[in-house]
């Protein structure tokens, strides 16, 4: 899809898209962002300054005596990614042992109303990776607290059915980023969904909707 032009008049936007004219009351511009590596002198250490990101190994090493963290590594433009990677780089610089970087359970939260949190793979990414996928989705209102607050939102779980573990999840609703924390743990540690079903979920909480979504996995 190609946007050819956008104009504004008489209180409306008019866009020309692939030869068609579209009109709208509001226009959301999400142009994205990318790291500017051209002025960092990367060529002096044998790296490509025109690259979209600085390639690093699991210890954050970009070159001999050079470590890189944060947005420029292309692993996710999140503050928590920089904090995670910085701890790994510091350990390596000081010669201390510790786990290498792993990105299979990166949490993402958009602080809108309601909050939108996700971790790991989407259903499409999991299927594209060749996994035997089962999906369980439930409305946040399936939890008593969600019903009390008339909360809008959902819990979506993506399971690798062959291994019986979650590979991705989404939490939308009030405190969606907080509810996501237990799902991040489940994806990161590859906790069996059978174990998640056997847990006791505090009542009444939003995260009880996770229990309902797990039951949907059994029906998928």
- pLDDT tens, per residue, the chain with 220 residues: 788 899 999 889 999 988 888 999 998 887 777 788 888 888 888 899 888 999 999 999 999 999 999 999 999 999 999 999 999 999 999 999 999 999 999 999 999 889 999 999 999 999 999 999 999 999 988 888 888 888 889 999 999 999 999 999 999 999 899 999 999 999 999 999 999 999 999 999 999 999 999 999 877 6
Contact 133/162 with Cβ under 8 angstroms? no
Between CA 145 and CA 153 the distance in angstroms is 12
pLDDT of residue 103: 96
pLDDT of residue 6: 92
Between CA 101 and CA 167 the distance in angstroms is 17
In the block, tokens 């939490």 appear at 171
pLDDT of residue 144: 85
CB atoms inside a 10 Å sphere around CB 82: 17
- Summary count for the chain: helices (H), strands (E): 6, 10
Longest alpha-carbon distance in the chain: 64
Between CA 144 and CA 24 the distance in angstroms is 38
Task: Give CA separation, 199 vs 30, 49, 113, 210, in Å.
Answer: 40, 50, 29, 11
DSSP string, 116-170: EEEEE--HHHHHHTT--EEEEEEEGGGSHHHHHTT---EEEEEEETTTTEEEEEE
Q: Token pair of 93, please?
A: 């610089």
Give the global pTM.
0.81
If DSSP codes are grouped into helix, strand and coil, which group holds residue 68? coil
Cα dihedral across residues 118, 123, 124, 130: positive or negative: positive
Q: Helices 176-189 and 208-219, interaxial angle, to 10°?
A: 50
To which H or E segment does residue 98 belong?
none
């Amino acid at each position: 899809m190609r946007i050819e032009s956008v104009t504004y008049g008489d209180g409306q936007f008019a866009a020309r898209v692939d030869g068609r004219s579209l009109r709208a009351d509001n226009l959301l511009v999400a142009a994205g962002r990318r790291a500017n590596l051209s002025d960092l002198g990367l060529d002096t250490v044998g790296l490509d300054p025109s690259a979209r990101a600085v390639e690093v190994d699991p210890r954050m090493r970009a070159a001999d005596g050079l470590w890189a963290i944060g947005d420029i590594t292309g692993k996710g433009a999140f503050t928590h990614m920089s904090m995670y990677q910085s701890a790994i780089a510091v350990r390596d610089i000081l010669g201390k042992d510790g786990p290498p970087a792993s990105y299979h359970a990166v949490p993402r939260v958009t602080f809108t109303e309601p909050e939108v949190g996700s971790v790991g793979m989407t259903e499409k990414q999991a299927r594209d990776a060749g996994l035997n996928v089962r999906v369980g989705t439930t409305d946040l209102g399936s939890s008593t607290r969600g019903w009390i607050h008339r909360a809008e939102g959902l819990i979506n779980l993506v399971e690798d059915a062959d291994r019986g573990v979650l590979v991705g999840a989404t939490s939308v609703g009030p405190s969606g980023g907080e509810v996501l924390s237990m799902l991040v743990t489940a994806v990161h540690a590859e906790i069996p969904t059978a174990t998640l079903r056997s847990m006791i979920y505090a009542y009444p909480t939003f995260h009880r909707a996770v229990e309902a979504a797990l039951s949907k996995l059994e029906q998928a």
